[in-house]
Amino acid sequence: MEDEPKKINKVSFIRWQQVSINERGKAINLFLSMSFATIGFVISQLIKTDFKFKCCCDEILIAVGTCLLLFHVIFLLSLVLNRLKGFRLTTKIAKLRDKNPPDEVGLLRKENKEIDACTHFLFGLSVLIFAIAEPLIILGFIINVFDKL
């Protein structure tokens, strides 16, 4: 009977771990979609023949925001590659867990924790960059529109 709660906790942990993996993937996809949509909007506005910057501040805000969004996309893509590396290592750990000594598996788990820490850092950094870049671009276009009035 004592093994019953441990088994239930293990199943619950695996379920919530899967939910966490899925939600982070959805968040990354959302950020990538919004970034590409914003970059596409900026490019479509810049190639219009009637679009002109009215002052240097809107040009600077839009240029800096767009550059930051490009860095954001690069961070997200490296985040995805880092997650894939972590998943691959987790699969390797699961395969080796029963066959190899605990020391070897422990080293792989330590490496996996480092990869996870890097993943969390990249995700936080990309969210911060996105939170800075989007308002800069929006503010740049708002200034441009109000200067036309």
Gap between the Cα atoms of 104 and 41, Å rounded: 50
The candidate with the shortest Cα–Cα distance to 130, out of 86, 85, 68, 74, is 68
The pLDDT tens digits for 119-134 are: 999 999 999 999 999 9
The pLDDT tens digits for 2-31 are: 556 666 556 665 666 777 788 888 999 999
Helices within 47-148 (DSSP H only)? 56-96, 102-148
Q: Provide, rounded to the nearest whole percent, the portion of the chain with pLDDT above 70.
A: 88
| Pairs from 123-130 (Cβ < 8 Å, separation ≥ 24) | 123/24, 123/27, 123/28, 123/79, 125/75, 126/31, 126/72, 126/75, 126/76, 126/79, 127/31, 129/68, 129/69, 129/71, 129/72, 129/75, 130/31, 130/34, 130/35, 130/69, 130/72
Gap between the Cα atoms of 137 and 43, Å rounded: 12
Gap between the Cα atoms of 8 and 6, Å rounded: 5
Domain ranges across the chain: 3-148
pTM: 0.79
The pLDDT tens digits for 92-114 are: 888 887 777 777 788 888 998 99
DSSP structure string for 75-93:
HHHHHHHHHHHHHHHHHHH
